[in-house]
Amino acid sequence: MKNEERRWFLKRLTQTIGAATATALVAGNSISSALAYQPRQNSEDSNGVILTQRQMQILSDVCSVVIPRTDTPSAADLDCHGFIDHQISQCHSLAEQQSVRRCLNDINLHSLSQFEHEFTQLKILVDVEQMQGFTQGQKEDFKFVKGLLVFGYFTSEVGATQVLAYQAVPGGYKASVPITPETKSWGSLNYY
């Protein structure tokens, strides 16, 4: 997949999770549950709490495609797939758990029908976003999975300390701070 398409996808990702999704993801005990999660090595090789081993593998592949390895680890490297399985088991309803399972199965079935092999490509995720071979409901399921993935990535120590910029609080108010396309978003070391 071309870098321009990957950038387009990541840009759409940040636009689509939006305030409503962010609010839903951090409601209730989500933050404390997220901070209690301990990443595991090779969690995609075994059943999760909610997800089967095959679904964990597909979710790991989705994590690698959505937030790929660059100069920082990928979402799969940080066990975001294990995090998602943990979060949906601890903080989400049975309907939301089924939504995640359904999303992973739909992505894999689409990959099998379009490319005759299991999911491994960004193209399938772009198809979900553009509803090419997917319904609005399937797009909503994927939006929920993406929100969990981004939440997991940026609440990890690496996401919060290496990907996001950090400014100690209190740090004073600066009204106009110049930014460039390379400027990092802001995070908090409050939990690390």
* Model pTM score: 0.72
Tokens 């995090």 belong to residue: 83
Report whether pLDDT(192) > 70: no
State phi, psi for 174 to the nearest 5 degrees. -120, 110
| pLDDT tens string 49-94 | 999 999 999 999 999 988 888 888 999 999 999 999 999 998 888 9
pLDDT tens for 85-98 read 999 998 888 999 99
On the question of pLDDT at 27 being above 70, the answer is: no
**Rounded distance between C-alpha atoms, residue 58 and residue 138, angstroms:** 16
The predicted model gives 131-157 an average pLDDT of: 89
d(CA 114, CA 79): 28
Residue 56 has, within 13 A of its CA and on its CB side, a CA count of 19
